[in-house]
Amino acid sequence: MTITNLEPTTALAELRETKTEKVTLVVLSGDMDRVMAALIIATGAAAMGMQVTMFFTFWGLNAIRKEHASSSPKDWLRRAFGWLNKGGASRLPLSRFHFGGLGTTMMKKVMKDNRMPGIPELMETAQDLGVKMIACTTTLGLMGISKDTLIDGIDQLAGVSTYLNEARQGSVNLFI
């Protein structure tokens, strides 16, 4: 009888190579608190060696838009909409107690005083850790956001099939 000596650490590494856990997050909300929760889960999962994909759609797109970038769509309705719906990771409002900006500003101050990373910092960390970011094409069109006004490092512009293909392999799929 021959006994194969299998190094446990090598076996474990091989196992992990073939069975990487996947996490997908749909970010529909553009509220600062919700996007923050999504980014904390994303960065945490990436730090745990999981493969993370974030899909930004609807208001969530505001988190991956450049600040002060204007898309200027041709029709006046979407232009007016773009004027009202401002983008930028550091400009997301709180879902509650926004108070025309005052509440959110105060929350940001508390976070900064306590050395808690804000949305722009979390976003940078997420990209650093290799979190894949995908923007939904349908809502980009609907909301009149052109792709050149999105931040750098958006891996793909895609739709529902791309999401479902990733999600069916995912062990953690969240809708935020």
Binding site for other proteins (CB under 8 A): 7, 9-10, 12-13, 16, 21, 40, 43-44, 46-50, 114-117, 125, 129
- Contact call for residues 151 and 8 (beta carbons, < 8 A): no
Question: Could you tell me how many residues make up the chain?
Answer: 176
Pairing assessment for the beta strands 51-56 and 156-158 based on DSSP bridges:
unpaired
Is residue 73 within 8 A of residue 141, CB to CB? The reply is no
Least distance from other proteins to the Cβ atom of residue 39, Å: 9
Helices of type H across the chain: 8-18, 32-47, 76-84, 102-113, 119-128, 137-142, 160-167
Q: Which residue, 27 or 143, is less far from other proteins as judged by CB?
A: 27
Closest distance to other proteins from the beta carbon of 109 (Å)? 16
Q: How far is the CB of 122 from other proteins (least distance, A)?
A: 9
Q: Which is nearer to other proteins, 50 or 158 (CB)?
A: 50
Closer to other proteins by CB, 118 or 159: give it: 118
CB of 114 to other proteins, least distance (A): 7
Parallel/antiparallel/unpaired status of strands 22-27 and 172-175: parallel
The amino acid at residue 171 is S
Compute φ and ψ for 146, nearest 5 degrees: -85, 150
- Between 52 and 140, whose beta carbon lies closer to other proteins? 52
Choice between 34 and 78, CB closer to other proteins: 34
In 3D space, the residue among 1, 16, 28 whose CA is nearest the CA of residue 135 turns out to be 28
Give the span between the Cα atoms of 139 and 87, in whole angstroms.
14
In whole angstroms, the minimum distance from the beta carbon of 54 to other proteins comes to 15
